[in-house]
Chains A and B, each alone.
Chain A
Amino acid sequence: MARKKGSYAGKILRVDLSSGRVENRELDPSFAHTYIGGRGFASRTLYNEVPPEVSPFDPANRLIFTPGALFGTAVPAASRTTATAKSPITEMHGDGHSSGYWGAVLKAAGYDMLILQGASPKPIYLWIDNDRVEIRDAAALWGKTTMETDQALRETLGDREIGTLVIGPAGERKVRLAGIFSDGIMGTFARTGLGAVMGSKNLKAVATRGTKDVGIVDVEAFRKAYQDYLQVISVDPYVAPATKYGTCRFMYHRVKFGIHGAKNWRLGDFDWKPLDPEVFRSDYQIKASSCPMCPVRCRREYRIPSGKYAGTVTKLEWETIARSMTCGVNDPEGVIYFSHICNQYGLDVEGVGDTVAFAMECYEKSLLTDKETEGLPLRFGDPEGLIEITRRIAFREGVGDLLAEGSLRAARAIGKGAEQFAMQVKGSEMSAGDPRGMPVRAVSYATSTRGSDHLRSNPYVEELITPEEGLQHFGSREAADIFQGLKGKGRLLAWSENFVTIGDLLGLCKFAYYRSATFDYLRKKGVELATRFYNACNGTKLSEEEMLQAGERAFNIEKAFNAREGAGREKDLIPERFFKEALAGGGPSYGAVVDRGKFDLILDEYYEARGWNERTGLQKRKTLEKLGLKDIAEDLAKRGRLG
């Protein structure tokens, strides 16, 4: 076991679940340095291997796991792994990102990428014990919840220190809102329905043991960068509330702008006080915990001490609170329990929350009645309704079977105009805050390559730049004007998308690197230090520009994947409600709508900044060639999908 030179493990593992064939290939160094790791490796592989004729549940669909290039090292907050497949919810590029230990363990077992293809005829799990790879029977695990499966694997395999990936009952039933869970419920690959892809392959779990080293080339440069990182987070005002409240702290941001999107994205303000971060901190929080290597410590587990849900302990993040409010629920114990059952059954809280909110609005408007719900009232604000319908979605019982398809498919089945209440982009349910009144955020939800997503683009950049920085970096002082700004917004968005993609390549958490109180701190962490850490670990001399370009490259590969699936400018759109209905319920953004004209102008500037055709939204040949993606340009040209 000679010491490896850098943070790469050096091998790619491919397992065909139909034939049981295992292939172990060397990682090509030029592939590594072009696509860097994580989302870069996976997006490129998915493009190469999953053409449009392969549907998401086709055994030929790939399920790819890629720990970020720095995961496994002690680089602060390097803790993220990417899971990628053609998504059952968008039928386009799909990926989810998770913390947890599994990714580091895969690296320690010797692999930078795990590619799964084919499908087993019966339930199985995969056991990767360093160099030994086995497909094992999972009859005894099938039907178990995420936590039960994780515990059973650790007991069966006789090792508490293994890493696991599991699906719950929802994934087994191919619920399109199912996620994949890492190490019990330590982390979730939540978005884009990847748990259903895993279920379609009859793969209940992946258990991994790794005992090898992850290497480093320049220890001194690493220590220096580490000190600089700690210095930035010690002065960045963004960090203290994150450590104090966890991600619950985003409540204060939503309140400041009045963008709750409560009751299926209709209300800007909402009776949020019962969900105050202080309440979670004082009444339910166990302690400030963290993901691997993270000094920010914004991860939280909560415990309900008494009452109906007494004894419940679960992990909960801000989006669970946000999506509960989308369902009108403001009972903290109901919210924690909702998180608990999503975690146990293996569901994406964002997808489920929005889908239930959609169903509640259908119920309100009598498009769904007690007949369809079998007597279950789906009323906004009722935690019990939310919890019961979530259970039915996980097990595909009654109306849950319909909703398990996600809001857009359910709306089409219901008909009668229900589609206008399905709040989704490219089929994937909304996340984060209401885009009305914040034009660039509206566009960012539309341009994301995996359907509605706030983490794909980090539109928050506009909130922290000064007009001078707007002029200097994005060509206009208007880029810093959240509400009225127009010029520079498209360029800001394109830059920001490339910028945060770096985190997904390296496995760095977005909260620890891609959020800050100032633009200086943000760039210092997200580009400068990220690049220095990568170079220190691998002995490379990548420039910050090259790192940003690697982000741009990964984003363009995903865009090309979607273009090849038939998506153009018409798919870069947000739900009609945001253009037509003024934000109700009071609050700072009361009465706001997204101005369609402004939306289109920002989108035009965005396409121009990206080097894509403004009319069709498709990529130009020279843009792809500049990024070293000549073969993708050829492929798209053949299919008539170049801009």
Chain B
Amino acid sequence: MPKTKTGLGDSKRKEKRRILYLSLPDHADRVCSGCETCQLMCSLEHAGSFNPKKARIKVVPLSLGITIPITCQQCEDPACRKACPEKAIVQHKKLNLVVVDEKKCTGCMACIGACPFGIMAYDPEKKRAIKCDLCDGKPACVQYCPSKVLVLAGNRESAEIRRRRFAAVLANEDSSARHNMAGAEQVKTLPRTMTQLAAESSKLQLEGGR
């Protein structure tokens, strides 16, 4: 039987991975607690000091008690790279992702404006764009998250998480599902935050389009 040409079995091209937020909808204690440990551990890993502005992951406080970590999605054809006028966003030799070439970057922020997730960051000291590089395959944020809700996901896991998340958003729109879902926690925590997130981002898009 021929070897599968998709997913983990394909060794020719290193599989793409990204850090995703995996809140467990059936457990109220396994969601982002908003502690921001990920941000400072990221800063320590990359800058050798503590500064949330130098983090490549951002915890967004949406409203009282609702915090969501936003991570770089390591896009296939990244908008940040396309937007860069200096061609400073380049393929990483080892990992299947793009990184910022500090020497070429001029700090013009074009990539920061272009990123669809708003997760390209800006180092206020070096005045350069900074981006998640998965810490050479062992991300500090995933390692230190006390709630264990950050995961390093390959293609298949990413699809699973995103599908589940999308379903939760739709379930919350569907009144029968909202009322009948067995896990009460599911209704109370995850979908509401996700709808809120969706609402927030669509609002931002509207404002940005003016």
Contacts and interface: CB of A to CB of B under 8 A. Distances in A.
Given A74-B50, A108-B51, A288-B28, A297 B146 contact: yes
Interface stretch (A13-21, A42-50, A206-214): A206-214
A214 B49 contact: yes
A293 B36 contact: yes
Given A294-B33, A297-B29, A313-B64, 18 more contacts: A72-B50, A74-B50, A76-B37, A108-B51, A184-B64, A213-B47, A214-B50, A214-B51, A216-B44, A219-B48, A286-B188, A286-B189, A287-B65, A289-B67, A290-B34, A301-B64, A314-B64, A315-B64
Contact of B124 (A72, A211, A314): A211
Interface string B23-43: 000001101011111001101
Contacts of B188: 286
A289 B65 contact: yes
22 contacts: A3-B48, A72-B50, A73-B40, A213-B47, A213-B51, A213-B125, A214-B49, A285-B28, A286-B188, A286-B189, A287-B29, A288-B31, A289-B67, A290-B33, A294-B33, A294-B35, A295-B37, A300-B65, A303-B65, A313-B64, A313-B65, A315-B64
Interface in B40-81: 40-41, 43-44, 47-54, 63-67
Report the interface size class on chain B: 20 to 34
B147 interface: yes
Nearest to A79: B35
B37 A313 contact: no
B49 A215 contact: yes
Nearest to A296: B146
5 A-B pairs with the lowest CB-CB distances in the bound complex, closest first: A301-B65, A295-B146, A286-B65, A74-B40, A213-B49
Contacts of B125: 1, 211-213
A453 to B, nearest CB: 26
A219 B33 contact: no
A219 B54 CA distance: 17
A349 interface: no
Contacts of A303: 65
A297 B49 contact: no
Contact of B49 (A184, A216, A300): A216
A73 B50 contact: yes
Given A211-B124, A216-B50, A313-B64, A292 B31 contact: no
B100 to A, nearest CB: 19
A313 B50 CA distance: 32
Contact of B35 (A297, A301, A313): A297
Interface string B128-157: 000000000000000010110000000000
Interface string A262-303: 000000000000000000010001111111111101011101
Interface string A605-635: 0000000000000000000000000000000
Please indicate which of the listed interface residues B33, B44, B48, B125 has the most CB atoms of chain A within 10 Å of its own CB.
B33
Contact of A287 (B35, B44, B63, B189): B189
A600 to B, nearest CB: 45
Interface of B: 28-29, 31, 33-37, 40-41, 43-44, 47-54, 63-67, 124-125, 144, 146-147, 188-189
Interface in A297-325: 297, 299-301, 303, 313-315
B50 A289 contact: no
A76 B145 CA distance: 11
A291 B44 contact: no
A243 interface: yes
Contacts of A1: 125
A214 B51 CA distance: 6
A473 interface: no
Contact of A297 (B41, B48, B124, B147): B147
A213 B35 contact: no
A554 interface: no
A292 B35 contact: yes
B44 A74 contact: yes
A164 to B, nearest CB: 13
B50 A213 contact: yes
A185 interface: yes
Contacts of A301: 64-65
B51 A211 contact: yes
Interface in A480-500: none
A293 B37 contact: yes
A219 B43 CA distance: 12
B50 A287 contact: no
A571 interface: no
B33 A287 contact: yes
Interface string A98-119: 0000001000100000000000
Given A211-B124, A216-B44, A301-B64, A288 B51 contact: no
A569 interface: no
B29 A288 contact: yes
Contacts of A289: 33-34, 65, 67
B146 A294 contact: yes
Contacts of B47: 213
A523 interface: no
Contacts of A212: 51, 125
Nearest to B188: A286
Nearest to A244: B29
Contacts of B31: 287-288
Nearest to A294: B35
Given A295-B146, A297-B146, A185 B64 contact: yes
Contacts of B28: 281, 285, 287-288
A516 B56 CA distance: 35
B33 A297 contact: yes
Interface string A170-182: 0000000000000
A74 B49 contact: no
Nearest to B51: A213
A289 B188 CA distance: 15
Nearest to B58: A161
Contacts of A244: 29
A60 B147 CA distance: 46
Contacts of B37: 74, 76, 293, 295
A292 B65 CA distance: 13
Contacts of A287: 28-29, 31, 33, 65-66, 189
Contacts of A213: 43, 47, 49-51, 54, 125
Contacts of A108: 51-53
Contacts of B43: 213
Given A211-B124, A293-B37, A294-B35, A286 B66 contact: yes
Contact of A3 (B35, B49, B189): B49
A295 B54 CA distance: 22
Contacts of B34: 289-290
Contacts of A300: 65
Nearest to A297: B33
B65 A293 contact: no
Contacts of B35: 290-295, 297
